[in-house]
Structures are given as C-alpha cells and as structure tokens.
Amino acid sequence: MNTLRGRLFVDGKLLTGTLAWSAGRIVRVDLEGEIGGADLPVIAPGFVDLHIHGFGGFDPLTDISGMARALARAGTTAFQPTLFPNAPAELGRQCAALESRIQALEPGHGARVTGLHLEGPFVNPEAAGALPKEHLHVPSKAALKEIIGSTFGNKRGIGTMTLAPELPGSADLVKELVRCGIRVSLGHSRATAAEARAAARAGASGATHLFNAMQPLHHREVGLAGFALTDAALHAEIIGDLVHVGSDAIELALRARLPRGLCLVSDALRGAGTGCDVFEWHGRDHAVDGGAAYYPARGEGQAARLAGSAMSQLEMVRRLTSAGVLGLPEALTMATESPARALGLEREIGALKAGMAADFVVLRGKELQLEAVCVAGENVV
C-alpha cells in the first residue's frame, strides 16, 4: 500500500491527513484536521475537463493517445475530447474511428477518456463563434442517426452533445439524445430562458461555456445565461483564462451557483501546453496572447477573433487564485468534483474517498507547482 501525507482536498476543504491507495484505488483517507500552513503539499483529485479540443500539440482525431498523455502530465486526469462540427455522416465516421482508438488505449496511458463531446453541428449559426458555420446542420432525427448510428448501440463513444434548443427540431433531438444516454448541453445559442427551461425539463443538463456564444443578460430577457445562473438543472461550464470571461462575471456566476454548480473547463486548442506563440490547425493560423488563442485579423481594420484557450485547467486554477478571483478550495471544486458530477461519475472520480479511483495531483507551495500526478495510482509526471 502507498501513502502520502499533505493537505487533502476533501468535501470542499483542505484538511491535514494521509491518503492511502493500492491497486489503482483509494484505500483510506485519514484526516487530522484543518491546516492553514503551506509546508505540506496540497493533494487534490485529478482535474476533469468536460470541454477540450486539443493539448500539447495533439488533438483527438490525429493522436488521442498523445493528447491523453500530455493532459495527464498537466494535471488533468480525465477529459471529454471535444470535436468541432462536421457533416453528420462524416462526424459519425470520425466518432466511430475515434471510439476504436480510445478502446485500444492501454491502461495507464494517460488521462482517462470519459466519452466524446460534440460541439455541434446542431447549433445556431448566429452564435457560432469560432465554430465553422459551413459545417453546421439543421436539427433532425435523420441527421442525428447519421452521427450516433444505431440508437440501441454504444452511440459511437459520444458522451455529450452541445446543441441550441431554440432551433426547429431541437426539442425532438434533446429527448432522443437523453433516451440514448447522451448528455445534452445547451450552447452556441440565442435561446430565451423559456426555451432553455423547456430543454432542461426534457433532460438537458449542461450549459456550454457560460456567457460565451450566448445572448448577454437583459433585464427583460435573461436568456440561456440567465437560466443557467438561476436554475440548478444545468451544470454550467466556465472558461477560466480570464479572457473568455472577466473576473466580475465569474464572481457573478459563483455567487449565483456556488462552486458545485460550475465546471471549470479549458476549451483548449491543439497549441495549448506547447509554449508556442503561433500554431496552425484545421488550415488556419492561431496566435496565442495572454493565455487565449486568436484567429489573426484578416484585413485592415479588422480585429483578431477569439478562437479558444491556450491554457490547461491547472494553469487556470493558478491564474484565478493568484488574481484573487477564486479561493483555492473554490477553484479545486470547480475543476474536480463539479465536472465529475456533471458526467454522473462522482462515485468514480473527482473526489478523494475510499473505493474511488486513485486519480490525484500533488501541488506544492503558493505557486501550486505540480509535483506529481497519479492516474489509477501510477505517477505519470
């Protein structure tokens, strides 16, 4: 049996104690009490990323194994590889091929893959953001079947789909996806609060990158963002680079939903984690500035366009806590427990409890230096 003593992150608090694990599982969590000093390392559950397109120079479609290894070395021990929209039949082929590669991954290869996340194609073109409009599609059961295949099969490894609930045909898709066991997240949308509420009643349970690619709050129509802030039906993602969402908006979300209602996501692109200032992906140049990735301006007088993040979840935790936007317990809750619960995996990952997977990170000092990352009890750093 292996043991490690430190400040264990348990039930939203940092408590002095000892973590014991064996054969990939946590065996015991012995707590001594609260501690305020920084002489012991922080031991927290491994981070869980619901929304990430690439990392470390890798992406799901070209090298899912490389992406999983790079993420584990950055503190993220479970993730949903997120695919951009495509024609339904092509997206279905991509998912089927990717599912086969995921199933072939060896245990201990890196971060766990918890299912694919499809960001579209059934989203609103008026709220496409950085998504390719030419690959968006009108919601229909026929198009959905092209993507997921047989509704009685394994759904080609798809765990989550982001869609816009206001589009004609979306209501039927929400019900069908829920029936098939696929989690529905609402995003890239111009939905009213009433439309979001109706989708939640039909089984939708997520809000994709809160505030981004959705209507801003208005005092006569709060929209999807307002509904996600005021109703616990949706687990709300939030990008924590302080570029996509400002500190005041994060504070608003935190006061409205508390840490257990918010999921810290990276929305990272392939160039994240490489240290590159410029990278090419999907035939487009990306420039990194301040932790975010942009499409450079294409002409005189045009501004660069935000494309995604260039930071890991741990980098976001460091940025949010050092800026005083979040306390460390709040940030850790949003990066571990909340996303695990959003996926229905709270009995397996996202917490330090006996019987759960021994997925955890060891962080040292005020800078939260990454000292160790364990996946199934094995150090991958």
Residues carrying an active site annotation: 267
User: Measuring CA to CA, which residue among 326, 370, 327, 374 is closest to residue 349?
Assistant: 374
Q: What are the two backbone dihedrals, phi and then psi, of residue 186, each rounded to the nearest 5 degrees?
A: -95, 130
Beta 25-34 vs 158-163: how paired, if at all? unpaired
State the amino acid at position 74 in one-letter form.
A
In whole angstroms, give the CA distance from residue 234 to residue 194: 14
Q: Which residues contact 115 (CB under 8 A, 6 or more apart)?
A: 80, 157, 158, 159, 160, 343
Label residues 330-344 b or e (16+ Cβ within 10 Å = b). bbbbbbbbbbbbbbe
Residue labelled with tokens 């840490």:
259
Residue 132 CB coordination number (10 Å): 14
Tokens of 125: 């073109």
